[in-house]
DNA sequence: GTTGAATTCGACAAAATCGTCCATACAATG
DNA sequence: CATTGTATGGACGATTTTGTCGAATTCAAC
């Protein structure tokens, strides 16, 4: 079930351990089929769609009936992932994990690109913040996949494919975000020699969702290039993702040098990532470390608020 | 929904948040294409435009089918934004060099993400094959950008950003392609230690456009992982992208070993990329080198033809 | 249990689409 | 020039879908 206001995807848990049947509400089925709730109600009342009733009179459509209905009538699906995810749950004879992270991990391990994308997309469309999606399901699922299998070829294959699927999903999320060429500019990437591009892509997606105009330089970008790009594009913000730097000990000096170099331009530098030792960073007025996308989001919101109040940041 | 009087697209406020509907009504599609509803209805009834029906008989056109139709018939888009192609609409604003490669290069150098995406999308929509797009504008523009500036920080920044913009564009192109889970599977990536992901992404996009179900393992993937993924996913084809391998001399042995390992499964191995010395490869029945995406496309079409004619390849 | 927010119900009005028929435009042909 | 064939766009009542509202129900947290 997709909840619009709570912003979470919740799957019904059946009290019976066996023979569970997922029941769809009119809203969920309407969303999956791309029609209005009124139509679902009418079809159920006409009898063409067999719907059960709760004691209070609410319609509930068993998943199997929904699938039969779609197939019999040759209906097109607007959002197959709703039915699809439930389908996985039905096949496994147990509900999909209520936890979105577990659900995503299972889909990624199964190599189910479409439904994995669908899960992230439906989270986004149902109002979950990009920060929550990235800090939650995406980060968790990839961390677990990475940890469990980091040594053998099959594990590497799973991890690489999972990363690609997440990258696809993030690119599609970004295509839903409005673009504003007049928005303040942000530039970023991973440090030179750091091959992980997903952290930087995640930061780019987050900043785009926060209204920035984003230039992602991707993996293995020298700090000098970040500085140059920031200068040329008149960026207000630089993000640096640290995942697997070749020389962790040099990271603090590198980012500190970057922060000092761009300080005269009034540029803020934010650093984050799994490979970052935040405590090792020197304290500079325009250098900020964050452990999560939520923190990055909070920071840029703070910037925006200060800017709109004093006019200093956006000027 | 498209308002007739204002001529603008207005989204229902109570339904899901922003996003393009994946099922189009006749009115929406007519507005997007700048034709009458009657024409849409007629095309759908003739079968040249495959439309699903609602329970009550209203036509609904899946977005992917609408895009296929536009591409096949070389139709102009009057209001591309209705189809989620606002990048294409933005492209119309100002004149471009007649040469697509030059135009793309200029847009990438200017960091104009939107118009760069729009250019590639409009090439796709006007019927240009994915292979031609990749071998032409994308390859040319990136090659020139890479050659001109490969040493200084500004050049690296430009190249990284251009690569990211192209990656965005390819991901969006892929989102236009129909997905078929029953299609033959293809697996691929760049060799271990080779950090360039774009060549692999390009190959994945091309194969998707040729009807394959694609699993892209991305940059720096060990051959053992490619083999394992091919085995697990029952792939029919492996692509290997060679851009900047750490030890070029070992490449022939690596891919030859891969080809031999998967030969018993009847898997074909295709190798390509700017860093490949095709003549150094050993001759094996299931190992193929190609210099361009057009060659890769031709090869897989040959595979498909042979398979459908003799049943030997797909058996 | 009780409570409160979110969801769904039922019924109605409003809007969109259907199928069909016909007028127009244009090119090819005799 | 007249005729034929073909593709397009518009008009129409009938049907289907969608949006809206107060009241009732559900669900999770207390």
Out of A128-137, A187-196, B18-27, least confident range: B18-27
Inter-chain touch A161–B217, beta carbons under 8 Å = yes
Tell me the whole-structure pTM to 2 decimals.
0.86
Q: Which residue has the higher pLDDT, A116 or B148?
A: A116
The DSSP secondary-structure symbol of B127 reads T
Q: Which two tokens stand for residue A123?
A: 């989270």
Q: Which two tokens stand for residue A205?
A: 């997606």
Interatomic CA distance for residues B310 and B41, integer angstroms: 40
Confidence of residue A78 (pLDDT cuts 50, 70, 90): confident
Task: Report yes or no: A60 and A23 within 8 Å, Cβ to Cβ.
Answer: yes
Percent of chain A at pLDDT > 90 equals 56
A93, pLDDT greater than 60: no
| Alpha helices per DSSP H over chain B | 26-33, 37-46, 63-73, 86-91, 100-109, 113-125, 130-133, 139-148, 153-176, 198-209, 223-233, 251-262, 293-310
Say what the pLDDT of residue A308 is: 52
Inter-chain touch B221–A35, beta carbons under 8 Å = no
A47, pLDDT greater than 80: yes
Q: What is the distance, to the nearest Å, from the Cα of residue B295 to the centroid of all Cα atoms in its chain? A: 15
Strand D: which residues have Cβ below 7 Å from it? A 10, 35-39, 42-43, 54-58; B 1, 12-15, 35-36, 38-39, 42-43, 54-58
CB-closest option in B160, B172, B224 to A218: B160
pLDDT in tens, B95-126: 677 789 999 999 999 888 889 999 999 999 99
pLDDT in tens, B246-296: 888 999 999 999 999 999 999 999 999 988 888 889 999 999 999 999 999
Say what the pLDDT of residue B92 is: 73
Q: Which two tokens stand for residue B201?
A: 């992404």
């Amino acid at each position: 079930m997709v909840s619009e206001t709570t912003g979470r995807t919740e799957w019904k848990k059946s009290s019976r351990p066996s023979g569970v049947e997922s029941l769809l509400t009119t809203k969920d089925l309407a969303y999956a089929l791309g029609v209005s709730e009124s139509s679902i109600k009418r079809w159920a009342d006409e009898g063409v769609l067999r719907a059960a009733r709760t004691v209070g009179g609410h319609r509930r459509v068993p998943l199997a009936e929904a699938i039969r209905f779609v197939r019999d009538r040759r209906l097109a699906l607007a959002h197959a992932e709703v039915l699809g995810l439930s389908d996985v749950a039905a096949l496994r004879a147990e509900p999909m994990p209520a936890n979105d992270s577990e659900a995503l991990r299972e889909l990624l391990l199964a190599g189910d690109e479409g439904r994995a994308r669908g899960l992230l997309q439906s989270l986004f469309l149902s109002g979950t913040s990009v920060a929550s999606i990235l800090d939650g399901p995406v980060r968790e699922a990839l961390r677990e996949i990475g940890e469990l299998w980091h040594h053998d070829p099959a594990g590497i294959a799973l991890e690489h494919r999972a990363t690609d699927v997440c990258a696809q999903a993030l690119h599609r999320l970004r295509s839903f975000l409005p673009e504003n060429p007049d928005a303040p500019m942000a530039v970023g990437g991973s440090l030179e020699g750091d091959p992980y591009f997903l952290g930087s892509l995640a930061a780019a997606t987050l900043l785009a969702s926060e209204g920035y105009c984003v230039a992602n330089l991707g993996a293995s970008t020298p700090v000098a290039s970040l500085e140059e790009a920031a200068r040329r594009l008149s960026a207000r913000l630089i993000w640096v993702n640290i995942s697997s730097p070749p020389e962790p000990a040099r990271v603090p000096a590198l980012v500190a040098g970057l922060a000092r170099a761009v300080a005269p331009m009034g540029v803020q530098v934010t650093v984050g990532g799994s490979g970052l030792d935040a405590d090792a960073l020197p304290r500079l007025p325009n250098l900020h470390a964050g452990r999560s996308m939520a923190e990055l989001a909070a920071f840029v919101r703070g910037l925006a608020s200060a800017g709109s109040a004093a006019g200093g940041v956006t000027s």
